[in-house]
C-alpha cells in the first residue's frame, strides 16, 4: 500500500474520530441508546453546546440516529446507526492502545 498520498476516505474517517469529544461520544453510545443528559454525565468537562454540535454532526453523517418519543415530557434518545456500530472495533483498538501506551 502506498502511504505517500493521503486517501480521502481515510482523511474523512480521521477528521470524524479526531474531532474533540466525538470518539468519547461514540464510545458512550456503544453501550446502547442514551439520553442527552446521560451522555453528558459520562463525559465530564464537555459543554452542552459542544455536545449539541457533535450530536448534530453525527446525525448528519448518519453515525447517530435521534429518536423522539412523544411522551410528556418528550423523551429523546440517541443511538448509533449500523454505520456507527461498525466503529466498534476501531474504538476498542484505540482503547487497547491507550491502555498499553498512554
Instruction: Give yes or no for a contact between 79 and 33, defined as CB atoms under 8 angstroms apart.
Output: yes
Enumerate residue ranges in the chain where pLDDT < 50.
none
Owner of C-alpha cell 454540535: 53
Question: What CATH number does the domain located at 8-101 have?
Answer: 1.10.10.10
Spell out the domain ranges in the chain.
8-101
**pLDDT given for residue 1 in this prediction:** 63
Mind listing the pLDDT tens digit for each residue in 53-78?
A: 999 999 999 999 999 999 999 999 99
pTM: 0.90
User: What does the CA dihedral 21, 94, 67, 65 come to, rounded to 10 degrees?
Assistant: 90
DSSP-derived 3-state class of residue 70:
coil
Q: Is 35 helix (H, G, I), strand (E, B) or coil?
A: strand
55, burial (CB in 10 Å: exposed 0-12, middle 13-18, buried 19+): buried
Amino acid at each position: 500500500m502506498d502511504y505517500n498520498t493521503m486517501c480521502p476516505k481515510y482523511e474523512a474517517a480521521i477528521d470524524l474520530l479526531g474531532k474533540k469529544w466525538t470518539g468519547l461520544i461514540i464510545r458512550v453510545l456503544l453501550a446502547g441508546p442514551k439520553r442527552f443528559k446521560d451522555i453528558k454525565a459520562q463525559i465530564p468537562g464537555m459543554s452542552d453546546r459542544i455536545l449539541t454540535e457533535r450530536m448534530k454532526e453525527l446525525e448528519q453523517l448518519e453515525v447517530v440516529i435521534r429518536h423522539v418519543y412523544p411522551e410528556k415530557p418528550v423523551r429523546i434518545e440517541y443511538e448509533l446507526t449500523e454505520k456507527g456500530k461498525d466503529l466498534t472495533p476501531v474504538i476498542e483498538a484505540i482503547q487497547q492502545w491507550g491502555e498499553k501506551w498512554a
